[in-house]
Structure 1
Amino acid sequence: MSTLNYFDPQTLAKLRSLRLRATHLVEGYVAGLHASPLRGFSIEFAEHRQYAPGDDLRYVDWKLFARTDKFYLKQFEDETNLIGYLVVDVSESMTFRSDDQGLSKLEYAQLLAAHLAWLVVGQNDSVALATFDRELRSVVRPASGPGHLKELVEILDQPARGEKTSAGPIFHELASRWKRRGIVVVLSDFLDDVKSMLAGLAHLRHRQHDVLLLHLLDRAEIDFPYEGSTLFKGLEAWPELTADPQLLRDAYQAEFKKYQQALEGGCRSQGIHYYQCITDQPLDRSIAEMLGHSSARSP
């Protein structure tokens, strides 16, 4: 899918109408949760850091280069600078799409991630990306600009490898990698061990990241609308099963509710924001409601 196919003009127009609100809820929500300042580019000098490819050359300290023959960037105090870390689950279960839905969970997550990246880049802030299944598949460092956005979309568009999920260890690894505080947005169906996932998310919180979980669900996973003898095809190494869904519906929905409440309750206890994204909902509505939902529940 090309960059243009990811960004429908009508959807972008609706998101532009939320721009002031989105700037406040994304940028202000992230930086404003903590009193201590983030490092960014502002008026008061804070420290130097070594140049990395893709950094803005405007902030190179040329006097220091003349003395050391090495490139260093000036860093300044900035309480509103944002890094958005997008984490997208590309495991096999994310490819599920019921017959009456236009998009799979993965396709919907790809579009959500791309539009969130577009919002952050449009605010002249930095966005990073990680994709995972049982291991990290790609990690892109924080940057901004149209070229960076195009790179993210190209990575998002890579097909799933048909692997199982192992989210908990992935969250631990990203917490070790991402040392600069920001907002971590995880887009997944979270079909994994809840205890392991919450432990990994706690590590991200320990690093002082703000964390937002976007729980991707197909409507059929909630309503279980199947009738008559049905062949359920297993994903992530689960076998196929032919069963009467009427005999399973009550037990399935009870287990689903128990799992969802455990995940949401565990998030709430750690100050992590949780929001369900149903794949039959218009994309712009999901983004607007998600931003409003997370802001309203900020501690």
Structure 2
Amino acid sequence: MPTPTERYLKPEVIQTVSRLDLRARFIVEGFMAGLHASPFHGFSVEFSEHRRYAQGDDPKDIDWMAFAKTDRLYVKKYQAETNITGWLLMDLSESMGYTHSQKLTKLDYCICLAAAMGYLMVHQQDPVGLVTFGDELRASLPARSKRKQLGDMLAVLAAAKPSGGTDVGGALKKVSAMAKHRGLMMLFSDLLTDRDSTLEGLRRLRHAGHDVIVFHVLDAAEVEFPFTGTVDLTDPETGENLILDAAGMRGEYADAVREFREDLQTECRKMGADFVPLHTGLQFDKALLEYLSHREARF
């Protein structure tokens, strides 16, 4: 049975929590509670300044207290070896406000996920910054590791509203120019924008030496297409609408979504970026595991 905190990995439960700081904490605590069943057994913020023992490491650096708790060998890490600078890149375009179920919008889901990532990084003493954007950059907080940074980021995210168009590629190019040091860029977006421009922006980040994780978040209805009868679909950013027969389009639509995501995943793989396909009905642990997997691979 899931522990009480593991319940907060479920979007339908986390939406009942009004405060974003509590959402972030509950998601992370729920995730940590379930780590015993994951490949990251023994990981916690408690060991943020440790890494797994490898052949050639000095046995004097082994942390035997960590071994007693986890049954795994860890060596202590120096601060310069530990820190990674993270950036949360949040798409605030109008399409991110879509929800079919009247539950969490795509933006709500992304904000909860980004808040949890920020919570993890700050508690690991890693500097983390935030950039929000639509068709232009909207807000930017430089990367810091102080506890106050988490509150500052959550305040910006809590006030964020979806509006306007999308220029993911343009935003990524500006972020690449802003970031003075190599870091981990975490993009949260539905990527409903120009494909080539987006990929060029991602390539620019990779060329600058940044690690990149793309959290591609769609509404559950955008993936599962639960509609019936005649459906009038409206593009929230352009106002264009399309009337169609749901039953007749379901198969073609499912193929298009699958091809859309497979194409993005293939292109990300080619450039060495991680692509994480999500929808608003999925628990948050998949995305958190992707983050930890990417972070562990750096050391």
How big is the shift at 1:85?
A: 0.6
Cα deviation 1:32-88 (Å, max 9, x = unaligned)? xxxxxxxxxxxxxxxxxxxxxxxxxxxxxxxxxxxxxxxxxxxx9823211111101
Structure 1 residues 211, 91: closer, same or farther in 2, change over 3 A? same
The letter for the 2-side match of 1:21 is: F
The letter for the 2-side match of 1:290 is: E
The letter for the 1-side match of 2:90 is: V
Unaligned runs of 5+ in 2: 1-17, 52-77
Cα distance in 2 for partners of 1:8, 1:80 equals 22
Question: What residue is the counterpart of 1:58 in the other structure?
Answer: none
Give the TM-score of the pair, scaled to structure 1. 0.75
Structure 1 residues 2, 171: closer, same or farther in 2, change over 3 A? same
2, 12, 21: which one pairs with 2:43? Answer: 21
After TM superposition, the structure 1 = structure 2 runs for residues 25-104 of structure 1, keeping only pairs within 5 Å, are: 78-99=80-101, 102-104=103-105
Q: Secondary structure at the match of 1:280?
A: coil
Q: Secondary structure at the match of 1:78?
A: helix
Structure 1 residues 217, 3: closer, same or farther in 2, change over 3 A? closer
Question: What residue is the counterpart of 2:75 in the other structure?
Answer: none
The letter for the 1-side match of 2:173 is: H
The letter for the 2-side match of 1:122 is: H
How big is the shift at 1:12?
A: 3.5
Are positions 1:146 and 2:157 aligned together?
no
Are positions 1:220 and 2:221 aligned together?
yes
Question: What residue is the counterpart of 1:289 in the other structure?
Answer: 289
Cα distance in 2 for partners of 1:274, 1:191 equals 15
Q: Secondary structure at the match of 1:102?
A: coil
How big is the shift at 1:255?
A: 2.0
The letter for the 1-side match of 2:190 is: D
Question: What residue is the counterpart of 1:169 in the other structure?
Answer: 170
The letter for the 1-side match of 2:243 is: T
Structure 1 residues 294, 153: closer, same or farther in 2, change over 3 A? same
Q: What is the aligned length?
A: 250
Structure 1 residues 292, 3: closer, same or farther in 2, change over 3 A? closer
Percent identical among aligned pairs is 28
23, 41, 62: which one pairs with 1:6? Answer: 23
The letter for the 1-side match of 2:88 is: L
Cα distance in 1 for partners of 2:86, 2:194 equals 26
Cα distance in 1 for partners of 2:151, 2:45 equals 21
Unaligned runs of 5+ in 1: 30-75
Question: What residue is the counterpart of 1:273 in the other structure?
Answer: 274
Cα distance in 2 for partners of 1:296, 1:258 equals 30
How big is the shift at 1:158?
A: 1.9
Q: Which stretch shows the higher mean deviation, 223-232 or 267-276?
A: 223-232
The letter for the 2-side match of 1:291 is: Y
Q: Which stretch shows the higher mean deviation, 15-24 or 185-194?
A: 15-24
Question: What residue is the counterpart of 1:115 in the other structure?
Answer: 116
The letter for the 1-side match of 2:159 is: Q
Cα distance in 1 for partners of 2:119, 2:79 equals 25
Structure 1 residues 192, 225: closer, same or farther in 2, change over 3 A? same
Question: What residue is the counterpart of 1:33 in the other structure?
Answer: none
Structure 1 residues 281, 239: closer, same or farther in 2, change over 3 A? same
Cα distance in 2 for partners of 1:96, 1:214 equals 17
Q: Secondary structure at the match of 1:159?
A: coil
After TM superposition, the structure 1 = structure 2 runs for residues 224-263 of structure 1, keeping only pairs within 5 Å, are: 224-263=225-264
How big is the shift at 1:295?
A: 6.3
Cα distance in 2 for partners of 1:77, 1:219 equals 41
Cα distance in 2 for partners of 1:119, 1:5 equals 13
Structure 1 residues 132, 27: closer, same or farther in 2, change over 3 A? farther
After TM superposition, the structure 1 = structure 2 runs for residues 152-231 of structure 1, keeping only pairs within 5 Å, are: 152-231=153-232
How big is the shift at 1:152?
A: 0.3
The question of whether the paired residues in 1 share the 8 Å contact of 2:230 and 2:246 is answered with yes
Cα distance in 2 for partners of 1:80, 1:246 equals 53
Cα distance in 1 for partners of 2:279, 2:272 equals 23
Cα distance in 1 for partners of 2:49, 2:88 equals 15
How big is the shift at 1:259?
A: 1.7
Q: Secondary structure at the match of 2:43?
A: helix
The letter for the 1-side match of 2:43 is: R
